[in-house]
Amino acid sequence: MPLDISIINIFTSTAFKGNPAAVIVLEEWLDSAVMQAIAMQNNLSETAFLLETAAAQYHIRWFSPLCEIDFCGHATLASAFVLFNHHSNLTQLSFYAEAVGEFVVDKLASGKIQMDFPKQILEPVTSIPEALIKGLSIAPVEVYRNRQAYFVVYESLVQVMGVCRDNDLLKQLAPLDVVVTCAAPSVGNLSQYDFISRYFWPANGGDEDPVTGSAYTGLAPLWAERLGKNELSAYQASSRGGEIDCHVVEDRVLVAGNAMPYLSGTIIV
C-alpha cells in the first residue's frame, strides 16, 4: 500500500537545521505496530500520523523510533505545515491527541506556524534522583519536573553547552526525559534570545533532540516568571539548532516557529 510522506525541518528557515519530522496523512488508522515500524524505518525523532475527523480537524499520533509519544510539538508544526500547503485557503487547524485534548494551530501573517498548547506546570524536585545527579557531568542543584521531563536550571550558558551525559543512567529516569536550561547571556551571538535549552531523551527516542516543541510548554512559563515577561524568544542549542517563539497566556502556551520542507515522496507498506 503506497502512502504519501513528507519530511519537514521545523523551527528553522535554513536547510539542514532545526528538527526533522515525517508526516503521513491517513485515510484510516494503520495498526499501531505498523506505524511503529514506519517510525523505526524513518529513524527521525518523530513521525506524525494524521486522520481527518471533520473539515480542518485531525486526530494526531506521534511515534519515535522506539515508542509512541503522547505529545510532540515539532511534528505537530510539521503536520500543520503540510496541511496548510495542501489547503491554501486554511489559516487554522484543529488537532486532537489523547494526552493533550483538542488544540488549535494557526498560520500567522509572518509565515510562522503557531501552536496553542495547555501549560505544563513545573513542580520543584526536592529529592533529586541519583540517576540524574550522576547522569550529568555538571551536578544539578535546581531541578523541576512535569509529566514529560526533569528540567535542570543551570547558572550559565557555559554549563548548558558543556554538560555531558551518561545515557545509560538517564534511561533509568524513564518515562521522563531531561532538559537543561539557562537564561541567555547578555552579550554574544545568543544574546538576542531570552533563554537557552538542550533536550536529552535516551529513554524515549534517542540521544539529544534537535528542537523539542513540547518542552516549551514547561520552559516558557518557567522563564516568563523569572524574567517578568510573557513573550519570549528561545534557542535550542543542539548541533542543528532551532529558534522558538513563546507566548504565555493564562493556562496556555503559544509556541511558534518556521518550517523548511525537505522531502516529499511515497512509501510502500
Catalytic residue of the set 46, 68, 98, 225 = 46
Cell of residue 173, nine digits: 529516569
208 is catalytic: no
Task: Say which residues have a Cβ less than 8 Å from residue 213's Cβ, sequence separation at least 6.
Answer: 10, 11, 72, 73, 74, 76, 77, 115, 244, 255, 257
Residue 246, C-beta contacts closer than 8 angstroms, at least 6 positions apart? 216, 219, 220, 224, 231, 232, 233, 234, 253, 254, 255, 256
Instruction: Collect contacts of 95-99 with beta carbons under 8 A, ≥24 apart.
Output: 95/57, 95/58, 95/59, 95/60, 96/53, 96/57, 96/58, 96/59, 96/60, 97/59, 97/60, 97/61, 97/62, 97/70, 97/71, 98/70, 99/70, 99/71
CA distance 221 to 95: 22
∠ CA 168-170-174, nearest 5°, is: 110
Q: d(Cα 230, Cα 265) in Å, to the nearest integer? A: 40
- Known catalytic residues are 46
